[in-house]
Amino acid sequence: QVQLVQSGAEVKKPGASVKVSCKASGYTFTSYYMHWVRQAPGQGLEWMGIINPSGGSTSYAQKFQGRVTMTRDTSTSTVYMELSSLRSEDTAVYYCARGTLLSWAFDIWGQGTMVTVSS
Amino acid sequence: QSALTQPASVSGSPGQSITISCTGTSSDVGSYNLVSWYQQHPGKAPKLMIYEVSKRPSGVSNRFSGSKSGNTASLTISGLQAEDEADYYCCSYAGSSSVVFGGGTKLTVL
């Protein structure tokens, strides 16, 4: 079945970087965009950016420009999201979500990865 | 971009209908028929309920429907059931390969 499986929870110190992985299975990896969305504790959803697994092109939300990098490995059908210069406000659950072609909707979601930033 | 505006909470009794609004601007909701809605139960990942304003993915109950007028999109749930109690988020394409979410609405089934 179609699924996205993310890496496990992380605890990082302020100023560090974190890299979260999202492994896709059950469909053609390069045929769908992948988005990253985060959710701080008790807060709403926040879109971070998108990667096209086919060519690797990316687009990031203005808020994260310069701090986020999204990459992919087509040999393992895995996308990665790296966030640098972490601060306490980055404590959140990070989700990867498959983007439906042309619809800009997210039809399959990963289970989420909790990233805690604490000194 | 600024988040889309949703009511913080709505409530209804079993069997009733409720509507959740989602107000954006002429740069997002008003410009594109690319509004989607997500249901999220506590501790779970969001689930796609509506895409392209009014289309339902396979497997989603026809009790869920979507619409749009101008800069405001709406999600209507008819025949409310206890399992509909959850948080609901709207989302819109906002141009330049970007997306914006609403702040979320907590639905309580009384």
Contact A91, A42 (CB under 8 A): no
Q: Any CB–CB contact under 8 A between A106 and chain B?
A: yes
Cα-flanking dihedrals φ and ψ of residue B92, to 5°? -140, 145
Q: Do B99 and A35 touch (CB under 8 A)?
A: yes
**pLDDT 10s digit of each residue in chain A, 119 long?**
999 999 999 999 999 999 999 999 999 999 999 999 999 999 999 999 999 999 999 999 999 999 999 999 999 999 999 999 999 999 999 999 999 768 899 999 999 999 999 99
Task: Indicate the SS3 state at residue A30.
Answer: helix
Per-residue model confidence (pLDDT) at position A101? 67
Chain A, residues 2-61, CB within 8 A of chain B, namely: 35, 37, 44-47, 50, 59, 61
The shortest CB-CB distance from A109 to any of B36, B45, B52 is to B45
Q: Give pLDDT, residue B10.
A: 98
How far apart CA A103 and CA B92 sit, in angstroms, is: 10
Mean pLDDT of chain B: 97
pLDDT at A118 (0 to 100): 97
pLDDT digits (tens, 9 = 90+) for B13-60: 999 999 999 999 999 999 999 999 999 999 999 999 999 999 999 999
Q: Which of B4, B48, B53, B105 would you mutate first to test chain A, the one with the most A CBs within 10 A? A: B48
**In the prediction, which pLDDT does B81 show?**
97
**Chain B residues in contact with chain A using a Cβ-Cβ cutoff of 8 Å:** 1, 3, 32, 34, 36, 38, 40, 45-48, 51-52, 57, 89, 91, 93, 96-104
**Closest by Cα among A17, A12, A1, A19 to A72:** A19
C-alpha atoms less than 13 angstroms from C-alpha of A31 in its C-beta half-sphere: 5
Residues A77-108 have pLDDT tens digits of 999 999 999 999 999 999 999 997 688 999 99
**Amino acid letter, residue B8:** A
For β-strands B64-69 and A68-73, DSSP reports them as unpaired
> Do B98 and A112 lie within an 8 Å CB cutoff?
no
With tokens 């990963």, the residue in question is A110
**pLDDT for residue B91 is more than 90:** yes
Q: What is the mean pLDDT of residues B77-93?
A: 98
Q: What is the mean pLDDT of residues B72-83?
A: 98
